[in-house]
Homo-oligomer: A and B are copies of this chain.
Amino acid sequence: MKALTRDTEDLFSTWQVNPSLPIAPQAYEFLRQCIVDNTLPPGAPISEGIFATQLKISRTPLRTAMQQLAGEGLIVTRPQVGSVVAMLDTERLEEAVFMRSVLEEAVVRRLAERGLDRQVLAKSFAVQKLAADADDYATFFQEDEQFHAKLAVLAGVPNTWRLVHSVKGHVDRQRFRMMSGIPYRSMRAYRDHLKIVRRIAAGDGDGAALEMRKHVHSVLELVPDNGTLLQLQAQLPADDG
């Protein structure tokens, strides 16, 4: 099973900027991934000055990235004080699941109405199956994003995926946190995808929506109650107290 998380120590060593492309989006992707895979744990301070220096970029593109992450709620910025990675919050997670589920249910309903050529998803399913069989979660995760995005495109509402993606960080963070060490956890998602598309192809909008709902909500099964959650992240900032 391939590694999911990185050590905080070599956080900056994994960063390699491509100077011929805009820096801000690269910084955004990097920071988002660090937060999602808990390399930057909840409560971790993110100083613009320090990070810009360490990442060998200026504060400007880093700020652009951080402002976007703050908009998604993955970073909390207090003016003139500092920014930290957002704490884990069950309510926030449940709301993210709510929003995502509602949007993606509507997408598959549209697809069921408009019809869907299953062939166009064949390649994606092939990649998913390979990754799931090999228990290569990193690859599966990547293809999973492509799959969901493609559903929105095929439904004629491509921007809907952008909206889903903007709330998905909270979900992914929880997934990475709770699923580390669970083998073959991508297999279930693969089967969920199959079920969803089968319902769509059958023209069964309600059924497809229900399968999508179960699929999206499955992450909540792994979430402990809020008390346990607060305990978990309480370890981190209290270490030096």
Contact = CB atoms under 8 A, between A and B. Distances in A.
Interface in A33-70: 60, 64, 67-68
Interface stretch (A157-165, A179-187, A225-233): A157-165
Interface stretch (A95-103, A118-126, A131-139): A95-103
A71 interface: yes
B95 A106 contact: no
Contacts of A85: none
Taking chain A's interface residues, is the majority helix, strand, or loop, or is none over half, making it mixed?
helix
B22 A95 contact: no
Contacts of A105: 102
A189 B120 CA distance: 42
Given A95-B157, A157-B95, A22 B79 contact: yes
Contact of A92 (B71, B73, B92, B159): B159
A156 to B, nearest CB: 8
A167 interface: yes
A166 interface: yes
A75 to B, nearest CB: 15
Contacts of A96: 159
Contacts of A60: 60
A4 to B, nearest CB: 27
Contact of A99 (B71, B91, B92, B159): B159
In this complex, the interface size class of chain A, counting residues with CB under 8 Å from chain B, is 20 to 34
B163 A163 contact: yes
Nearest to A102: B106
A98 B106 contact: yes
B73 A71 contact: no
A141 B179 CA distance: 45
Contacts of A98: 106, 157, 160
A166 to B, nearest CB: 7
Given A22-B79, A79-B22, A163 B99 contact: yes
Nearest to A24: B67
20 contacts: A67-B67, A71-B71, A91-B156, A92-B159, A95-B156, A95-B157, A95-B160, A96-B159, A98-B157, A98-B160, A99-B103, A99-B157, A99-B159, A99-B163, A102-B102, A102-B103, A103-B103, A159-B167, A163-B167, A166-B166
